[in-house]
Amino acid sequence: MPGIDGFEACRRLKANLLTSSIPIIFMTALADTENKIKGLSLGAVDYITKPFQEEEVLARIKVHLKLHFLTLKVMEQSAALQQANQQLMLLANLDGLTEVANRRRFDEYLEQQWQLQAQKQAPITLILGDLDYFKNYNDFYGHQAGDDCLKQVASALSLAAKRNSDLVCRYGGEEFALILPHTDCPGAIKVAEATIAEVQKLQIPHAQSLVSQYVTISLGISCQIPSSELSSKSAIAAADAALYQAKQQGRNRFYFERLCSQVKISER
């Protein structure tokens, strides 16, 4: 090969994405160990020295082609398995009805963000929401209509929580949760107001509600700066207590339970 030797040819083939996976067998009169090592280190799969037997060459080619295609098959199966695992993980973290995050994902994400915001000494907001008089809704309109209502409300909540880091969850039954990392008290109130407004925009009739002719939601807000004295459970307890107060004060509203003494200006 004028101007190029086998080593350079091998190097170029391995550097090209179109040819890099092709098995390369060196066939040469250079039988010393140093040249063999050099060829193999450049990516060759085998080394045949001259003189050679045609049967041996063909046998080695067949072996390496078989290994090559088996490797490709394993890689394809591995990629398919990885994709299947990703889909399973996604399904494991989603609520089957509303297609927002489920309670399992809620617990996991809240703890992750609690630890992260603790390191940054940044606020984290948790909002718990409960659809008002939803049992009456199910009893009057039926569970199929109730399921459709939950789907619409989940979509409305997703519109209110706009940041990529915000997470909307189905907490259980007709209860929802919003985890808002790096969100201070004023920002929490903005999201709560937007949440109530988005649910009202749906205008889902609710003849059995005692507060409105449409489906409404009550919210409890907890905003905290994580510290060694507090755990993520304190955020849940505070938001739950605030939600109770929102219901006691007439529903279709939010109540704010603030546990942080100093909060930065909202960036939402």
Same domain, 162 and 184: yes
Residue 257's pLDDT is: 61
Q: In terms of pLDDT, which residue wins out, 46 or 133?
A: 133
| pLDDT tens digits along 221-244 | 999 999 878 889 999 999 999 999
Same domain, 115 and 241: yes
101 neighbors 94 (Cβ within 8 angstroms): yes
This prediction has a pTM of 0.68
* Residue 30 resides in a domain: yes
Same domain, 245 and 126: yes
Exactly one of 54, 108, 174, 257 is catalytic; which is it?
Answer: 174
Residue 267's pLDDT is: 43
Task: Report DSSP letters for 41-60, one per residue.
Answer: HTT-SEEEESS--HHHHHHH
DSSP code for 100? S
Residue 266's pLDDT is: 40
Catalytic-residue membership of 193:
no
203 neighbors 118 (Cβ within 8 angstroms): no
Same domain, 173 and 254: yes
Question: Cα dist. 75→19, 44, 109, 194, 225 in Å?
Answer: 17, 20, 32, 47, 46
Q: How many residues does the chain have?
A: 268
* CATH number of the structural domain spanning residue 137: 3.30.70.270
| pLDDT tens digits along 257-268 | 654 433 333 444
Task: Give me the residue label for tokens 């008089």.
Answer: 133
Q: Domain tally for the chain?
A: 2
To the nearest whole percent, how much of the chain has pLDDT over 90? 59
Give the chain's count of helices (H) and strands (E).
8, 7
Examine the fold and report which residue of 90, 114, 147 is the final residue of a domain before the chain moves on.
90
Mean pLDDT value across the chain: 89
Q: Which domain holds residue 248?
A: 103-258
